[in-house]
Chains A and B, each alone.
Chain A
């Protein structure tokens, strides 16, 4: 495949001139092609970043209550990890699942670090509520819908991370069980159980705060 680059791109290594590949060029390639091209010309890696930036920033913020600056740092660090581990990517996985996995781990690690410094006090979760949720009780309103906007009322923010992460991936990132399993490195059955429990926990918490379901 012949690419038409401005000339200075090819000599960018000499003076560390950073160029991002324009969107119209990036759009011509699949993600795997972008990965392959990145290994030849690193600038192509910017295509991947641009393609995922918006949704991953949103994901990081949902997961960790990070500020814009913190989220961007996490994302930058994650993409450095992705770059370093490019040859470790298992092509049986979806690239998006692999990228989410690395970003997720980076975000969780930053979140825990932040928590250990006592900066995050927004965790009023009652463990008794968690213990009272049965594993296998049927859901009243079908499995796929919570009947409540996850973003509303700050309920999601009050949930413990293991529940919050599955709810965000399932209902806000619209991932399948298999994709969530690949992101969190959990068996699909465990993902299903955790989503089930998380939904019930979400409802209980919402009800405890007298939030009406639609």
Chain B
């Protein structure tokens, strides 16, 4: 700063600007910054919505209530079922959306709660729509196919329903007769399942090729007595569909 006591403040200012050839930053820089913030917000909200939709899908697909009946370490099983990857992605995208709102021109007008609320609300709303539209299933499937280290919701579900010693069995029906179902589980082991006394909702179709979940108990080697039969997917379709 040039110091000259004899000069007026304004004179000193203009002299500094001229001497150092200081120019106002071009308008486009501010426009780009503003545009980037809003783009980041929209992208983060959109990606957060996708992550949220997969979390919904995971909740829908995983029978968390089963965990409490298992004799295995419940906490371990429960934590194993949580879609951590998607929760982490949701947190990251929400944080980016939150940051973008906070640093937007008018962001400071909103309280922290509102800034966070707007970011979260948009992701929740879009995520729910994406989930209802079936996008979550496709996205999760694409992830499972393309990302090697990713453990899919389907794999987690199979793990949960492959503990016959705790009363949880699942697999594909190979044959059905009046007293028994022949079932091949996901470890390719064949089971003879007695189902006469089992509760079975109408959506369950006992047909060859159908995938089902069973709650019951082992009666002898490779024999299982079913107390309840559930469809593999929410609507009783074949595995891989939903």
> Which B158-185 residues have C-beta < 8 A from chain A?
none
| Across-interface contacts of A165 in B (CB, < 8 A) | none
Among the 9-residue stretches B18-26, B73-81, B144-152, B201-209, the one with 4 or more Cβ atoms under 8 Å from chain A is B18-26
Tell me if B1 counts as interface (CB < 8 A to partner A): yes
Tally of B interface residues using CB under 8 Å: 28
Q: A76-B1, A181-B109 are in contact. Are A87 and B13 (CB under 8 A)?
A: no
Q: Are B17 and A187 in contact (CB under 8 A)?
A: no
Q: Are A53 and B111 in contact (CB under 8 A)?
A: no
Q: Are A18 and B108 in contact (CB under 8 A)?
A: no
Tell me if B88 counts as interface (CB < 8 A to partner A): no
Tell me if B9 counts as interface (CB < 8 A to partner A): yes
Tell me if A49 counts as interface (CB < 8 A to partner B): yes
Q: Are A46 and B14 in contact (CB under 8 A)?
A: yes
Tell me if A147 counts as interface (CB < 8 A to partner B): no
Q: Are B15 and A18 in contact (CB under 8 A)?
A: yes
The interface bits of chain B over 224-240 (1 if a CB of A lies within 8 angstroms of the residue's CB, else 0) are 00000000000000000
Q: Are B18 and A16 in contact (CB under 8 A)?
A: yes
Interface of A is mostly: helix
Tell me if B12 counts as interface (CB < 8 A to partner A): yes
Tell me if A45 counts as interface (CB < 8 A to partner B): yes
Interface of B is mostly: helix
Q: Are B22 and A53 in contact (CB under 8 A)?
A: no
Q: Are B16 and A80 in contact (CB under 8 A)?
A: yes
Tell me if A79 counts as interface (CB < 8 A to partner B): yes
Q: Are B109 and A45 in contact (CB under 8 A)?
A: no
Give the nearest-CB partner of B110 in chain A.
Answer: A187
Tell me if B105 counts as interface (CB < 8 A to partner A): yes
| Across-interface contacts of A46 in B (CB, < 8 A) | 10-11, 13-14
Per the bound structure, the CA–CA distance linking A194 and B109 in Å amounts to: 15
Q: Are A190 and B24 in contact (CB under 8 A)?
A: no
Per the bound structure, the CA–CA distance linking A73 and B22 in Å amounts to: 17
Name the residue in B14, B24, B105 with the highest tally of chain A Cβ atoms < 10 Å from its Cβ.
B14
Q: A77-B1, A185-B108, A187-B110 are in contact. Are A18 and B11 (CB under 8 A)?
A: yes
Taking beta carbons and an 8 Å cutoff, which residues of B are in contact with A?
A: 1, 7-19, 22-27, 29-30, 105, 108-111, 114
Instruction: Identify 10 new A-B residue pairs, CB closer than 8 A, beyond the known A76-B1, A79-B13.
Output: A16-B15, A19-B14, A45-B10, A46-B11, A49-B9, A49-B13, A83-B22, A84-B25, A87-B27, A189-B111
Between A and B, 20 residue pairs with Cβ closer than 8 Å are: A12-B18, A18-B7, A19-B11, A19-B14, A20-B8, A20-B10, A42-B18, A46-B14, A50-B8, A73-B1, A76-B1, A77-B1, A79-B13, A80-B17, A80-B22, A83-B22, A84-B24, A87-B27, A87-B29, A186-B108
Taking beta carbons and an 8 Å cutoff, which residues of A are in contact with B?
A: 12-13, 16, 18-20, 39, 42-43, 45-47, 49-50, 53, 72-73, 75-77, 79-80, 83-88, 90, 181, 185-190
